Each structure stands twice: as structure tokens, then as C-alpha cells.
């Protein structure tokens, strides 16, 4: 059990290196880190399902004390969420505010955002503190869990030894968010899923292709990568080079399922060796897209399992139908999606 040396957003530290922080009453509150538990969590991160990595780290590596006020910030106090002061204290313990302006922006937008889908306080924090909270090249991913992982990464590397070595090997999946911070609401099904590195996203009437965002832990927090271009990548056309890899078809759950067929057909035309899987919502603290572990092909591919899709079926209904067919006709082969007669 060693004391944590808190690192503020701009790298400043005024605690003399003893890991103390000021509580709301102005008293010094020592933060003690259980590095044995943290190292165990870092070890487990290499073997748990990819969707569970963030949860495993945050649960087992409490480098700023209890994470609950930061993770539950969005829940209103009357609904069981943390007190406003508890959030301030937790953020201060963790050196969240690189300057007084960052604190003013965060706290000034906090109350209006609680109980809503908005991440406004975190976006404002990211804009002001930038690399101090791993918000470069942009703040789209900054959130309570993301901030916790940032602090875990910095603390583990600063601690050195086994913790630093293990942290350098950890990668976590991130939500598929556009620059505006908006993500696709994916279907949720109780079925086996798998991590994917590439995606084809159906956004409106366009298809996009690229890498799914991930983050690595390091001395400067989190380093985000999603291939050559940030999500959603480049528009997918008849001339796009598609990797010979597993590809998650990311489509909103309320969209017509026939749009998934459009995406699969274009992937097949671009690379016959690429394999398509429907993206579903991953579980865990940072919900990232995962592929439903049943390969999908177009009607042009010979396979005994075929699923007829009409214009009324949604992507959410498609996900359920795929699982149902796979359960009824188990086997290693792919499922072909067939357009109903008269469909477009």
C-alpha cells in the first residue's frame, strides 16, 4: 500500500509528493492506493473479455479513492446519485481541474447535464485541460469512466515496476462516437459477441469504413487510435480498399435492416476475404460496439442458413432473428441475408 502522488492536469503538484489532497473542509485527505489490487486488475485486463477491460481496471485500481461520485455523476441526487459536493471532492482528489476556469466550466454545466444524455461537463473539461485529461486530438471520448482510466494509466506508470509494465500492455475499447460526441444506438441481444478492429457504419444514407476506436494506457494517460482517420473514418465507396479482416456492421437499431444488406454487399465487392458481423452494444463501463459472433453474408453466397429480410424489419429485430436462427440451426457456417421479394 503506497501513497499516490496526484498529478494535476498540467502536471503541477503542490502536495510535496506525499499523495495528499484537500477535502471540502480544507483538511488534508491522504490517498492510499492498494497497488497489489491494482496490479491484479491490470493482469486480469489481459485475459477478461475485451468489453470488460475498463470495468475490471476501474473496479480494482482505485488510484483516487472511490470512483463512485465520478462514475455516477450523471444520476441526480434525488434519484440516488452523489451530492454535488461529493463530485467536487472526488474530482479534486484526482487532480481533475488544471485551472480555475476548468473547474468553473465543469461545475457550471454539471447540474443541467445530470439526468440527461449530455456529457457537457466533460467536454468542457476536455476543451480546457486538453492532454491533461487525454482529450487530444478532441474531447469526444471524455467521460467519467474515461477520466478514471486516464488517472489509472498515469498513476500506474508513475508508480513504476510491475504496475507500469502491465499498464503498457493494456488496451481498452471505446464507444464509436463522431466528433460531435454522438454515437449509434446499437441493438442489445444476449448472445456471444467478439471484439472487432474494423467497422462499416451505416450513417444516414452513407456508408463509412475505418478502425473502431481504442485507447492504450501510458504515462500521459490514454492514447486514442482508430486507424488512419478518426471514427467514422472515410466514406465507403466502390473504390475503397477494405482489409481482409472481421468487420462490424454498425447500424442504428431502429434503421431498416435492409441497409445492413447494402453494407455487406459492398464489403463483399471490395474484398471477398473480409467477414461481416452485425455490431451490437457491448456491456461494461465504456460500452463499445462488438460484433455478434455469427458471420453474415449476402444472398449471393452459398450457405445453408438463410434469413429473409423485409423492408419492415429493423436492425434490432434483425439481431434477434439472427440469434434465433443460429439457435435453431447451430453450425459454423455463415447466415445469408436475403431480401424479401418486392424489397429494395
Q: Taking a C-beta distance cutoff of 8 angstroms, is the pair 283, 300 a contact?
A: no
Tell me the per-residue pLDDT of 113-138, one tens digit each, with 9 for 90 and over: 999 999 999 999 999 999 999 999 99
Q: Average pLDDT, stretch 300-318?
A: 96
> Which pLDDT score, from 0 to 100, does residue 331 have?
84
Give the span between the Cα atoms of 49 and 206, in whole angstroms: 31
The pLDDT of residue 15 is: 33
CA torsion sign for 243, 247, 250, 251 is: positive
pLDDT-based confidence at residue 17 (cuts at 50, 70, 90)? very low
Structural domain spans, the chain: 2-173, 193-339
Q: What is the pTM of this model?
A: 0.86
Q: What is the pLDDT of residues 224-268, one digit of tens each?
A: 998 889 999 999 999 999 999 999 999 999 999 999 999 999 999
| Statement: residue 1 has pLDDT above 90 | no
CB 171 within 8 A of CB 49: no
Res. 344: pLDDT tops 60: no
Segment 51-79, tens digit of pLDDT: 899 999 999 999 999 999 999 999 999 99
Amino acid at each position: 500500500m503506497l501513497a499516490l502522488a496526484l498529478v494535476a492536469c498540467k502536471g503541477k503538484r503542490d502536495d510535496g509528493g506525499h499523495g495528499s489532497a484537500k477535502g471540502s473542509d480544507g483538511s488534508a485527505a491522504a490517498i492510499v492506493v492498494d497497488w497489489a489490487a491494482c496490479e491484479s486488475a491490470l493482469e486480469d485486463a489481459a485475459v477478461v473479455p475485451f468489453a470488460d477491460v475498463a470495468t475490471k481496471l476501474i473496479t480494482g485500481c482505485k488510484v483516487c479513492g472511490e470512483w463512485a461520485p465520478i462514475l455516477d455523476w450523471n444520476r441526480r441526487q434525488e434519484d440516488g446519485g452523489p451530492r454535488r459536493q461529493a463530485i467536487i471532492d472526488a474530482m479534486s482528489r484526482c487532480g481533475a481541474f488544471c485551472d480555475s476556469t476548468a473547474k468553473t466550466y465543469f461545475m457550471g454545466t454539471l447540474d443541467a447535464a445530470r439526468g440527461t444524455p449530455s456529457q457537457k461537463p466533460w467536454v468542457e473539461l476536455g476543451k480546457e485541460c486538453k492532454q491533461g485529461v487525454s482529450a487530444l486530438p478532441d474531447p469526444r471520448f471524455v467521460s467519467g469512466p474515461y477520466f478514471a482510466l486516464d488517472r489509472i494509466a498515469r498513476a500506474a506508470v508513475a508508480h513504476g515496476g510491475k504496475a507500469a509494465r502491465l499498464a503498457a500492455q493494456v488496451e481498452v475499447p471505446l464507444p464509436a462516437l463522431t466528433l460531435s460526441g454522438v454515437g449509434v444506438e446499437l441493438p442489445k441481444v444476449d448472445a456471444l459477441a467478439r471484439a472487432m478492429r474494423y467497422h462499416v457504419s451505416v450513417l444516414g444514407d452513407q456508408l463509412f469504413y475505418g478502425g473502431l476506436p481504442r485507447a492504450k494506457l501510458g504515462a500521459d494517460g490514454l492514447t486514442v487510435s482508430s486507424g488512419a482517420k478518426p471514427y467514422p473514418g472515410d466514406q465507403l465507396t466502390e473504390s475503397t480498399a477494405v482489409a481482409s479482416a472481421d468487420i462490424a456492421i454498425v447500424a442504428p437499431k431502429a434503421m431498416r435492416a435492409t441497409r445492413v444488406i447494402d453494407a455487406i454487399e459492398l464489403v463483399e465487392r471490395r474484398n471477398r476475404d473480409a467477414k461481416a458481423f452485425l455490431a451490437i452494444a457491448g456491456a461494461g463501463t465504456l460500452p463499445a460496439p462488438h460484433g455478434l459472433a455469427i458471420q453474415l453474408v449476402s444472398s449471393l453466397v452459398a450457405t445453408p442458413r438463410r434469413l429473409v429480410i423485409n423492408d419492415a424489419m429493423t436492425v434490432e429485430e434483425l439481431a434477434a432473428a439472427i440469434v434465433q436462427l443460429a439457435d435453431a440451426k447451430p453450425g459454423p457456417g455463415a447466415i445469408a441475408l436475403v431480401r424479401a421479394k418486392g424489397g429494395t
